[in-house]
Structure 1
């Protein structure tokens, strides 16, 4: 967080004179509050160096509010020049640009640090999406459930990756691997076959027992269709 500067601009302490004429009030103690009514008083104020505690905030010889730094992270204050009895007047930091630059990303891009949480009304609500300015459709989209969809930008998204069940990711489309595939699980299945543990081939190589065992194992894995005959 950071302290932000206040005062030093067109903030003046005024009082009402004859006929409700506004009169500047120099040398008046000003207190700072968190709200226009109620709230709490801010006493953690510092001088213009941003570090030296400010014992009290007093309007200058022209009735203006001098420069000071507010509490850490506070960007608006409610000023009271009537001994805490009000009325209070809202003032905002004079270095608002520093607050904005440190808090918000510019529309043209920027660097974000820390976690970002999107609290949405439904699992299908869109968290983020991206496209090229000339596209008619999002090239990428992610919803609150974590599902991700991709497309060319010229048509609706046609590729996806999502949670299918506990401990299971799924895509409804093709999946191409450019490097080695290493399977660490205890079961596998191909071409729609139910996953099975790694089969053990048995039988003698001198006859057909080993061949039969191998055919059974490959069939279980879904790698072949067994149309052999005895």
Structure 2
């Protein structure tokens, strides 16, 4: 099933074939794993999980995935986990980002061989390293600058720094004592700070205003419940208008709601999956319940009667409370009267279909 229109995607292709170190074309599996659950509210789209492809001859089929920064996506800031398992043994795991501004990429364009440094370290044989390789003077040929440095009285300036900064211990103690009146002043200051924190603690009244009470309250904004929500007292939905959806049901993987209730009480049903809702039931006028589709009754259909006489699969009708006094504008009216079934057509003629 193609991804919904409006959801940005990125197509990943293998580029050059994957090979083993000796050039053998790799075989195995490559898996792209997203978070367990990702939603795109603007497209009514829910996705998550993993996509697995086979590697044959070093290649895998191009795969189109949801961009990791698709518009309206929640959560954000995640990456795909890419896992390769070779049939010959071994494999690797890396993480890639697929931004929507690059709708088609090759695996090598977005894959880092090392997730931290971006590349592998190169080991060097130290036995072959010379002084020239590291910019050092050859052995036995120290430069004049080195000789001058060694003979200097204070080559790094640390001696002067120590004399000027650390100074005699007595003078430093005096400077510290002059900066603090007494230890009691610091104790008093600490107590004042503790008291200030105590004065700003969360009170019962502040907590009641900030958090939802177990006895009830109002939640402003959307609230998501993961798992079963059991309601002991029912629910009430206040909507902005009659066409607002107040209840909808989807099965995991569905693109369209299987069942939906609107603010005016209208109900709609559909097959689920990517099939649109195609059946409805609603109030069309005072005391009139209507559907724009077909009503199928498996057992019996009763019209103003409580007795079916033991019938199964029939229509039970009581005598018409008020037979049609005027001529129907089209078609006709079927009604029982005096135990007989009658038909009054648009011509005004009454015909007894089943005599008493």
Name the TM tier (shorter chain): 0.3 to 0.5
TM-score by length of 2: 0.30
- Output the TM-score relative to the length of structure 1: 0.44
User: Quick check: which one's helix share is greater?
Assistant: 2
Higher gyration radius (CA): 2
Taking CA–CA contacts closer than 8 Å with sequence separation of 6 or more, which of the two structures ends up with the larger relative contact order?
1
